[in-house]
Structure 1
Amino acid sequence: MTMKTTAPKDRAPQDEPAKLSSTAQGFTRNLNAGLGAMLVKILAIAVLDATAIFAVFLAVAKDALLIASIIAVITLVINAIYFKRGWLPAKYLAPGAVFLLIFQVFVIGYTGYIAFTNYGSGHNSDKDDAIMSLLQTNQQRVPESAGYPVTVLDGADGLALLVEREGQSLVGDVQHPLAPIDPDALGQYTQLSFADLLGRQQEVTSLAVPISENPADGTLRTSDGRTAYQYTSTLVYEPNADTMTDSATGLVYRDTGVGAYSAPSGEQLMPGWSINVGFDNFTRAVTDSSIRGSLISVTAWTFGFAFLSVATSFFLGLFLAIVFNDLRMKGRKVYRVISILPYAFPAFLGGLVWAGMLNKDFGYVNQVLFGGASIPWLTDPWLAKFSVLWVNLWLGFPYMFLVCTGALQSIPDELAEAAKIDGAKPWQIFRLIKLPLLLVSVAPLLISSFAFNFNNFNVIYMLTEGGPRLADSGMNVGATDILISMVYKVAFVGSQRDYGLASAFSIIIFLIVSLVAVISFKQTKALEELN
């Protein structure tokens, strides 16, 4: 009996259309995916290029040609990377490199630049802006000046004044002097009603519209929104001599190179302008007695705070790790969970909670634990330091507990068993075997923890705000201030903010932390020989 079989080649002609169809569908899907990815890339690069072009124009307008050039070069490099075939590693590295340049390199470089200037309160603009501000802020009404009938308008740039003079309509605002305007263009403004004038009275009375491009001509101001009067500056600026003269007293102020117009007596007109002062900020930090004393005191406390915080949290965390690592300990898992709970709270929130609990008058600690005592935990200098260390211990020991637990569990049990056989006591096993091996892995973390606590702004500022204030200090510095909180106060707290001095302090902190880190890492090399 003969059996007929169908060879595979007999089915091939029937499968060809299906294979072709499947291949065509796969090609179409890949093409669509490629086109979609290309469109997304083009859109992202277009947004980046548009932002970069805007930043370049803005930098050029501010005469920051170096920054404009850097932005342009970076943008061109990114375009080249993403539109050129290949260069796959560069496509992945480019975003991280850009963010590194923006948020690390630029910030460090700009801080260094500010440290060599007098940038701060009264010195936060250029000289032209300072001259204009001086002329505008020292204005008085011209005696017996004529009144100008005005109408207060509201436009895209804020309030403006409409003045009818010699049959011509003139409109101006704070940024733009009075200038003729086409009646048809008045449609872009809205006239303020009487109710609006009452509701925005403060804006109306503070509105000062320059009469012309020449600041000496003064401004028009109105108190009722109906009649404006001419105000001129009591200071007279002489461009050729580069002087400011007080017309009332005749006192002449000159540019003496300190970033402000100064009188012979040393009196300065504010605001001034930002200038390069070289190493003056660093010199002030070490030579000015009022600053030097505060700097030394704060630096000493910063080292003490960082060292004690690391030491106390490490030894408490190590103690708990040893206790909860013992198999004879019942309920170890529950205790471990309870021990790491403080680590789950944000540091700033923990500082605020403890600030309330340690309040002298109604805090939980005084009212409940000490039976209504009035202990000044946060207002006495030494108790405030103790409170800061205690709160930081409460926040920091869970981290050390977790680190030490993992390090202890990684040490082989055979080492301890062999030591027991040789007659070693438990303390000898820990001191001579476990602790050196533990420090091999923990020492770098202790160094990083020291650097973190050296700049631990949150717990200081949220708990005590750096207080209590040191009465004999020439700066706004308190007993619990560390260097970073002192820098914050110099830069952002108070009426006189000195960004230049604060930046100089920041560089000093950076150098100190770097030096400590280098020395510490060199010392830890001896521990690596135990590994």
Structure 2
Amino acid sequence: MTMTSQRPQRVKTRRAAQPVAVPADRVGIKTLLFKIVLLAILDAFAVIAIFMAVAKDSPLIAGALALVTLLVNVVYLKRGWLPAKYLVPGTIFLLLFQVFVIIYTGYIAFTNYGSGHNSDKDDAIMSLQQTNLNRVPDSSGYPVRVVEGADGLQLLVEIDGQPALGDSDDPLTPITADEASSLSILQFGQLLERQQELAELAVPVSDDPAEGMLRTQDGATAYPYTSSLKYDKAQDTMTDTTTGVVYRDIGTGAYTAEDGSELMPGWAVNVGMDNFTKALTDSSMRGSLIQVTTWTFAFAFISVASTFFLGLFLAIVFNDMRMKGRKIYRVLSILPYAFPAFLGGLVWAGMLNQDFGFINQTLFGGAAIPWLTDPWLAKLSVLWVNLWLGFPYMFLVCTGALQSIPNELSEAATIDGARPFQIFRLIKLPLLLVSVAPLLISSFAFNFNNFNIIYMLTNGGPRIQDSDLGVGSTDILISMVYKVAFEGANRDYGLASAFSIIIFVIVAIIAVISFKQTKALEDLN
């Protein structure tokens, strides 16, 4: 028997193509061009902002803008650095909308910025000279024509045969005859329709305010006006040429005479701790501040406690499996949470109206109950409406917290002979507070600054008669700050910022203490 040896046949296999590793930071040409275009637009805006900051004599802001712009360009043009590409935008927005706001508020708190002190010194000097104009006696008029400019009315003046054009912001500038002929001249009927604008139009003769301005009443002839206040740059004084009274800069942000009278507007200056001293020690404010602060704490504590216990009660009731229709009740219970707070305040303000509100007319048979005009009833109304708006949030939170507690704990306690209330008080409530306590702290901070419900429902009223701050019985600290800053004849942004810093410190202290107690509760459990 012959055996033939066979050679093993080689099977040719095609090697699978291995994927080529592409660097993660390699981008296509279109993506690169798109990125360069976006950076170019950003850089253009940044350059404009830097020049504006330099023009406003703000080198610190200009330097910060330049540094941030350089950082953004380096991060997005550099290969790699993927985490930085995501972190830089968020960090910039955080610095811009939170850190900067806090720092700027702190800066304003140390100034007299407010009504009459809302610009710098140069603007105040120009404004004083422009608002105290008197016609030059026996002065001759200049033939003028009123022109429709890009930013409003302009005057086209003929001075010694030379046409010149100017408006309230730009002084008279010589132009050519061809340029003058191409302007849009207003006719008599158009001037009558814009008589108010024409009466307010005052065109500076030159860059020097002391040379006066031209004003016209009929749109045909303009007369020179000069300021009754003469500014002496060397002495830094302002002299009233009609009375001879000299006003000096004494460091209070306004030119002040020897008798204490001031020229307004002034300018913003640093006043140190004056705003804080005024807020805490001024007898005209101390009473209102104490009353508002007391009510703010009471409002925040009662709001948190009432919404929490009502929400917890409903969560316990609707968490019982034996209750029929509990899904429907849950949906109905969270409806107020979907209602905007400011709109809810307006609706309830109408329902609680003393004369035609639904509450008085329907539920109380037409009784004229002053829900919003009596100090104590107004406070009760605010607490009730805030309870209606706030309990759904606590209901949802407590429902989730209760459902996360294992049923074995309740079953074991029941076997040991514990009653339902004991199970709740000794087992469920401590475990519930561990998870809910941080939310209660945040709810307190929210209600401490709950501006919407106060402003929309009562606007802080009824007003306290002897209050110099214009606050009312239901005003809390944040609504008082709003009134100091934005309502009334004298708007004091510096004082309002000082109040804001005080509120921030109070809330921060309460939050720190509360979180320490929460940590102790966690350790105990």
Match of 1:510 among 501, 504, 507: 504
Match of 1:402 among 396, 400, 403: 396
Q: Take 2:324 and 2:231, find their aligned partners in 1: how far apart are those partners?
A: 84
| Aligned residue in 2 for 1:389 | 383
Q: Take 2:138 and 2:179, find their aligned partners in 1: how far apart are those partners?
A: 33
- Is the aligned partner of 1:111 residue 2:97? no
Where 1:529 maps in the other structure, the secondary structure is helix
Q: Take 2:371 and 2:137, find their aligned partners in 1: how far apart are those partners?
A: 60
Q: Take 1:8 and 1:222, find their aligned partners in 2: how far apart are those partners?
A: 105
| Aligned residue in 2 for 1:56 | 50
| Aligned residue in 1 for 2:115 | 121
Q: Take 2:319 and 2:382, find their aligned partners in 1: how far apart are those partners?
A: 30
Where 1:495 maps in the other structure, the secondary structure is coil
Task: List per-residue Cα deviations over 1:232-277 (Å, max 9, x = no partner).
Answer: 1122222222222222222221111100011222111100011111
- Tell whether the 8 Å contact from 1:440 to 1:530 is kept in structure 2 after alignment: no
Deviation at 1:83, TM superposition (A): 0.9
Structure 2 CA distance for partners of 1:246 and 1:422, relative to 1, 3 Å: same
Task: List per-residue Cα deviations over 1:353-412 (Å, max 9, x = no partner).
Answer: 111111111111111111111111111111111111111000000000000011111111
Match of 1:167 among 153, 161, 164: 161
Deviation at 1:144, TM superposition (A): 2.3
| Aligned residue in 2 for 1:484 | 478
| Aligned residue in 2 for 1:264 | 258
Match of 1:80 among 59, 70, 74: 74
Q: Take 1:53 and 1:298, find their aligned partners in 2: how far apart are those partners?
A: 46
Match of 1:308 among 297, 302, 306: 302
- Equivalent positions of 1:327-346 (< 5 A) are 327-346=321-340
Deviation at 1:175, TM superposition (A): 1.6
In the alignment of these two chains, the number of paired residues is 516
Q: Which moved more, 1:151-160 or 1:221-230?
A: 151-160
| Aligned residue in 1 for 2:3 | none
| Aligned residue in 2 for 1:208 | 202
Task: List per-residue Cα deviations over 1:24-79 (Å, max 9, x = no partner).
Answer: 9x99xx99972232222222212211111111111111011100100110111111
More helix by share: 1
| Aligned residue in 1 for 2:91 | 97
**AA in 2 matched with 1:320:** L
Q: Take 1:8 and 1:218, find their aligned partners in 2: how far apart are those partners?
A: 104
**AA in 2 matched with 1:46:** A
Task: List per-residue Cα deviations over 1:104-145 (Å, max 9, x = no partner).
Answer: 111111111111111111101111110111111011222222
Deviation at 1:7, TM superposition (A): 9.8
**AA in 1 matched with 2:491:** R
Q: Take 2:80 and 2:39, find their aligned partners in 1: how far apart are those partners?
A: 17
Structure 2 CA distance for partners of 1:219 and 1:401, relative to 1, 3 Å: same
Q: Take 1:76 and 1:445, find their aligned partners in 2: how far apart are those partners?
A: 41
Structure 2 CA distance for partners of 1:7 and 1:384, relative to 1, 3 Å: farther
- Tell whether the 8 Å contact from 2:25 to 2:80 is kept in structure 1 after alignment: no
In the superposition, the TM-score normalised over structure 1's length comes to: 0.93
Q: Take 1:187 and 1:124, find their aligned partners in 2: how far apart are those partners?
A: 41
Structure 2 CA distance for partners of 1:412 and 1:115, relative to 1, 3 Å: same
| Aligned residue in 2 for 1:281 | 275
Where 1:160 maps in the other structure, the secondary structure is strand
- Tell whether the 8 Å contact from 2:25 to 2:79 is kept in structure 1 after alignment: no
In the superposition, the TM-score normalised over structure 2's length comes to: 0.94
- Is the aligned partner of 1:373 residue 2:339? no
Q: Take 1:392 and 1:7, find their aligned partners in 2: how far apart are those partners?
A: 85
- Is the aligned partner of 1:190 residue 2:184? yes
| Aligned residue in 1 for 2:466 | 472
Structure 2 CA distance for partners of 1:481 and 1:187, relative to 1, 3 Å: farther
| Aligned residue in 1 for 2:289 | 295
- Tell whether the 8 Å contact from 1:437 to 1:530 is kept in structure 2 after alignment: no
Structure 2 CA distance for partners of 1:100 and 1:57, relative to 1, 3 Å: same
Deviation at 1:497, TM superposition (A): 0.8
